[in-house]
Amino acid sequence: MKINNILKKPVITEKSSQLLRTGIYVFEVDRSANKHQITEAVQNLFSVEVADVKTFIRKGKIKKVGRRMQPKQLPDKKFAYIKVVKGSIDLFPKV
């Protein structure tokens, strides 16, 4: 798996913003990526030292869509909590 395909996007919520103070970053990752691949991708892309990676899969919600409001199952998503020891990841780059 290519390194660019492992990390999809950073998760920016109130909880993840509070975790930034402790050096923990939250990313949505590819479902088939394991912890070793996630660690390698973060270290190569952001030049930081990763201490720990915790992952979990959030089940997709059931939404009602269309004219008849038929239920549709949204896909599951995988998230990774990444603890950084050395360096930092700039989630809000200055333009």
Res 10: pLDDT: 94
| Cα–Cα dist 12/89, whole Å | 13
Question: Strand locations in 1-95, DSSP E?
Answer: 7-10, 24-29, 49-58, 62-65, 70-73, 77-86
User: Does 21 score more than 80 pLDDT?
Assistant: yes
User: Does 92 score more than 90 pLDDT?
Assistant: no
Q: What digits encode the pLDDT tens for the residues 29-66?
A: 999 999 999 999 999 999 999 999 999 999 999 999 99
The most confident of 2-6, 43-47, 67-71, by mean pLDDT: 67-71
User: Does 90 score more than 90 pLDDT?
Assistant: no
Q: Are 84 and 23 in contact (CB under 8 A)?
A: yes
95 in a domain, yes or no? no
62 in a domain, yes or no? yes
Q: How many domains does the chain have?
A: 1
17 in a domain, yes or no? yes
19 in a domain, yes or no? yes
